[in-house]
């Protein structure tokens, strides 16, 4: 069965420090990969997505993610976080086959930036 | 564009009552999704439509839940009768299939449902 794992449910980090949020997925077919962010009391919005090509993807707000096919990972990184980055981050995978088309979201990682 | 619009933003009701949540997707989008978010279960996909047709409703928890999309600009999620365990934030999202097949979903602000 396809799944998305986010190993860290909560990540506290000091302001201006780097951060990495981990995401692993299981799928036997090609996938499209996404990171979404949810600020308090809001809906989710797209940070970045991987379709094909370069494995390093740059998104909004200084975030980037690297696709690693052999490790089936798509970790999100930012070199220096701000207080405003405090939010919930969701990794998602779209699996599309002839008879199957689904987007699966991970459980989310809560990033808390400490002043 | 105004984005995905959901109404109401907050709903408080008593157990046993019927609840109807509404969604207006972004104009031109051909996919519409309904999600439920709780602390315990995270973000769950309930159902999604493509061109107004329900494609996958395997996430609908039970027969008390139903969803319709009578046209491309409107969808409803109905709970009848409602129960306290239905309390959650319900999100609607829409997307447009692009050439690469990697659609971005655009989420509405959500409806916070409380069933007493």
Residues of A in contact with B49 (CB under 8 A): none
State the pLDDT at residue B42: 86
Closest partner residue to B109 among A32, A43, A46, by Cβ?
Answer: A43
Give residue A115's pLDDT. 94
| Closest CB from A32, A43, A96 relative to B107 | A43
Do residues B32 and B88 touch, judged by C-beta distance below 8 A? no
Cα separation, B41 vs A105, whole angstroms: 12
Restricting to A residues 18-37, those with a Cβ less than 8 Å away from any Cβ of B are 32, 34, 36
**Lowest-confidence region among B32-46, B60-74, B87-101:** B87-101
Q: Which of B80, B103, B91, B84 is nearest to B7 (CA)?
A: B91
Share of chain B above pLDDT 90, in %: 78
Q: Which comes out higher in pLDDT, residue B82 or A51?
A: B82
B4: Cα separation from own chain's centroid? 11
Closest CA to A73 of A20, A1, A23, A6: A23
Q: Which residue from B minimizes the CA distance to A109?
A: B42
- DSSP state letters, B14-60: -TT--EEEEEEPPTT--EEEEEEEETTTEEEEEEEEETTEEEE-TT-
pLDDT of residue B28: 92
The mean pLDDT of A61-82, rounded to a whole number, is: 94
pLDDT digits (tens, 9 = 90+) for A90-99: 999 988 776 6
Higher-confidence residue of A61 and A27: namely A61
Higher pLDDT, A96 or B38: B38
Tell me the nearest-neighbour CA distance from B18 into chain A, angstroms: 24
Burial class (CB in 10 A: 0-12, 13-18, 19+), B105: buried
Residue A99: predicted pLDDT: 67
Report residue A21 CA to chain centroid gap.
7
Tens digits of residue pLDDT in A25-57 = 987 777 889 999 999 888 999 999 998 888 899
């Amino acid at each position: 069965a396809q799944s998305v794992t986010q190993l860290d449910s909560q990540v506290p980090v000091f302001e201006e420090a780097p951060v990495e949020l981990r995401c692993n997925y299981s799928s036997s077919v090609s996938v499209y990969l996404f990171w979404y962010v949810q600020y308090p009391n809001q809906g989710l919005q797209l940070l970045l997505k991987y379709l094909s090509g370069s494995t390093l993807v740059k998104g909004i707000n200084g975030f980037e993610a690297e696709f690693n096919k052999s490790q089936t990972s798509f970790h999100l990184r930012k070199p220096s976080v701000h207080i405003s980055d405090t939010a919930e981050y969701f990794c998602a995978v779209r699996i599309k086959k002839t008879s199957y088309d689904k987007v699966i979201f991970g459980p989310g990682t809560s990033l808390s930036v400490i002043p | 564009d105004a984005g995905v619009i959901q109404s109401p933003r907050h709903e408080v009701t008593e157990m046993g009552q019927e609840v109807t949540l509404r969604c207006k997707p972004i104009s031109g989008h051909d996919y519409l999704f309904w999600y439920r978010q709780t602390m315990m279960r995270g973000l769950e996909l309930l159902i999604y439509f493509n061109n107004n047709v329900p494609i996958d409703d395997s996430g609908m928890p039970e027969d008390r839940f139903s969803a319709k999309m009578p046209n491309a600009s409107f969808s409803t999620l109905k709970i009848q009768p409602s129960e306290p365990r239905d309390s959650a934030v319900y999100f609607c999202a829409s997307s447009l299939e692009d050439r690469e097949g990697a659609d971005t979903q655009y989420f509405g602000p959500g409806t916070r449902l409380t069933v007493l």
